[in-house]
């Protein structure tokens, strides 16, 4: 079945749709959707080639699906890379950019880099804020 036909069947009737505002944007929580936007380009269900980037306790998991896998090769059709915690943004961007350089969905390169950067930023420990100093009349009292 072609990806266009799959999208036509899935776009209106999908359990992953998130419609918060009646006239606002429509989001999607499906696996493999890098931007969480409900569109054919980013859909993890309608496209044969998908890149799924998730946060896990061991690090950031990047899962890639092969496009021409038969139903008998379910395990062999997925490849998973794990980027360890605290390995840095250059390592994560290198793994994601390597996929695009090999020709695997180069249109998703910016979305994949943005997703990995956001996950790395969320893993960092925040610096403690210094206590506020009293100013003006409160400082003299």
Which pLDDT value is given to residue 80? 81
SS3 of 123, please? helix
Q: What is the CA radius of gyration of the chain?
A: 20
What is the average per-residue pLDDT within 2-29? Answer: 88
SS3 of 63, please? strand
Percent of the chain with pLDDT over 90: 5
What is the average per-residue pLDDT within 94-109? Answer: 82
Q: Is the pLDDT of residue 102 over 70?
A: yes
Residue 130 confidence class, pLDDT cut points 50, 70, 90? very high
Which pLDDT value is given to residue 85? 76
Q: Is the pLDDT of residue 89 over 80?
A: no
Whether 62 and 96 have beta carbons less than 8 Å apart is answered as yes
Which pLDDT value is given to residue 128? 92
What is the average per-residue pLDDT within 104-127? Answer: 86
pLDDT tens digit sequence for 44-82: 888 888 888 888 888 888 888 876 666 666 666 777 888
Token pair for residue 62? 């990047």
Please give the Cα distance from 25 to 37 (Å, whole number). 8
Mean pLDDT (the chain) is 84
Which of the residue ranges 35-39, 65-69, 74-78, 105-109 has the most confident prediction, judged by mean pLDDT? 35-39
What is the average per-residue pLDDT within 110-130? Answer: 87
What is the average per-residue pLDDT within 121-125? Answer: 83
């Amino acid at each position: 079945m072609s990806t266009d036909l799959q999208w036509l069947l899935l776009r209106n009737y999908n359990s992953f749709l998130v419609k918060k505002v009646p006239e606002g944007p429509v989001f999607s929580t499906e696996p493999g959707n890098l931007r969480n936007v409900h569109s054919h380009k980013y859909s993890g269900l309608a496209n044969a080639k998908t890149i799924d980037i998730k946060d896990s306790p061991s690090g950031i998991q990047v899962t890639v699906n092969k496009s021409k896998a038969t139903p008998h090769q379910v395990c062999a059709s997925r490849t998973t890379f794990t980027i360890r915690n605290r390995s840095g943004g250059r390592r994560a961007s290198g793994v994601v950019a390597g996929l695009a350089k090999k020709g695997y969905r180069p249109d998703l390169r910016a979305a994949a880099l943005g997703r990995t950067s956001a996950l790395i930023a969320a893993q960092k420990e925040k610096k403690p804020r210094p206590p506020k100093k009293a100013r003006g009349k409160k400082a003299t009292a």
